[in-house]
Amino acid sequence: MITLADLQVSSLGPCRYDSPLASYVADRQTNEYYVSEGDRVLYDDTIDLLERRAEPVERSPSFEPGGPRARIFHDPATTHVGVVTCGGLCPGLNDVIRAVTLELYTHYGVTQVTGFQNGYAGLVPQLGFEPVSLTPGLVGSINKRGGTVLGTSRGAQDPSVIVDRLVELEIDALIVIGGDGSMHGAHKIVEEIGRRGLAIGVVGIPKTIDNDIPHIGQSFGFATAFSEASKAITAAHVEAESAYNGVGLVKVMGRHAGFIACYAALANHDADFVLIPEVPFALDGENGLLRTLARRVRAHGSAVVVLAEGAGQELMPATGKSDASGNRRLGDIAAVVRAAIEKDFHDRGEPLTLKYLDPGYGIRAVPADAADSVYCARLAQIAVHAAMSGRTDMVVGRRRHRFVHVPIPLVIERRHSVAPDGDLWLSVLESTAQPLDMS
């Protein structure tokens, strides 16, 4: 059970400076613009959930709202902010870098913004990556291209070395744009800062193309990703429908969570089967994929199977390997499923035209779409507001259309995933008409 204490955000100290954003509100300095320090955003969103807790609403779990404060911790005239992008690529990284830089320069008057190249490696001097001065001129049009102008990398670095570098460069706040592993690293940096008694803030902007970070609503880049994935599903559907006994097999990203597969399938209703890590399936047996697929092809002439990369890992031996971030390397479930389908049709003496599509890296590399670009800009602005007000060891997110601050320890304790008994998976089952149980 989440408690109010779990949702308390750390701060570097009392806010001593008037916000430069006062010019935006003139004489109406009210909650219409500034966030009230005493306000909270409830964690539970139904009366039933609140009543189950049987405690006063002021003691119910609630988030600190995101947004500009009337008073801030850092003096804009002397503040130095660092920015780093870590982990895999995701649509919108350049949008976030751009919006962070512009918000600091244009609205807070902070003119010292430093980008670190190639993830946390850029904070280790021995590796030779020089910091980059981020200016409005430099970032002006970077949102039009995919990837990250700062570069990125996976893998942890020594937090003591990183903090030494922050001190050397007189960084007052570090904004970390990254996923689960990056936030683990950010928390370790905060712990090292705390051990030294330094007033350096660390604020995260969660980045996960799989949308598997909890408590933040939806990660930036996810909407662009499932939109691009849906195009591959449409292509597979056209190929399969145009062939005799056609089967389209589409593998999409989703190591531990099947959100891309689910949303992409719902976007066009062209998928007949969606296979995700959270819901086990069997290849053989009366309710297994092979027999169910054969029945679907006989009845309709074709079928499309959407497969998240982390699905069905129990159907093959573990690789025993890990990547630089410590993630277990997955077996190639697409190869297993493809071979099994081809063998099954061959053994039954039935013709098969199978088309396999893997749009994975193409999805990661595209620029953010318009909706995601807006989301990136707003998350970046909320992160800057948080950093300037002295918040630390937290990430920004949006829950039920309200921007909030979430403590990093809370977002790294587990992964967000598709609930097999939840409404999203039920919607997928309704869309595909696949069996409830394929195990």
| CA angle (220, 223, 229) in 5-degree steps | 130
Q: Which two tokens stand for residue 149?
A: 């102008």
Q: b/e for 328-347, b at 16 or more Cβ within 10 A?
A: eebbebbebbbebbeebbee
Distances 256 to 167, 253, 261, 330 between C-alpha atoms, Å: 37, 9, 12, 10
Single-letter residue type at 142: I
Residue type, 30: T
Candidates 95, 172, 210, 393; catalytic one: 210
| 210: annotated active-site residue | yes
How far apart CA 330 and CA 204 sit, in angstroms, is: 27
User: Cβ(64)–Cβ(9) under 8 Å?
Assistant: yes
- Between CA 118 and CA 139 the distance in angstroms is 17
Phi, psi dihedral angles at 204 (to 5 degrees): -105, 145
Residues 204, 191: Cα–Cα separation, whole Å: 15
Reference 264, options 334, 363, 355; nearest CA is 363
Integer angstrom CA distances of residue 78 from 112, 385, 405, 407: 8, 16, 25, 27
- Beta pairing partners, 396: 405
Residue 170: how many other CB atoms lie within 10 Å = 12
Phi and psi for 223 in degrees, rounded to 5? -60, -40
Specify the residue for token string 């008994």: 421
- The secondary element (H helix, E strand) that includes residue 139 is helix 136-139
Q: Which DSSP string corresponds to 42-65? A: ES--SHHHHHHHTS-GGGS-EEEE
Tokens at 65, concatenated:
């709202």
What length is written for the chain? 439
Query: Which are the catalytic amino acids?
Result: 210
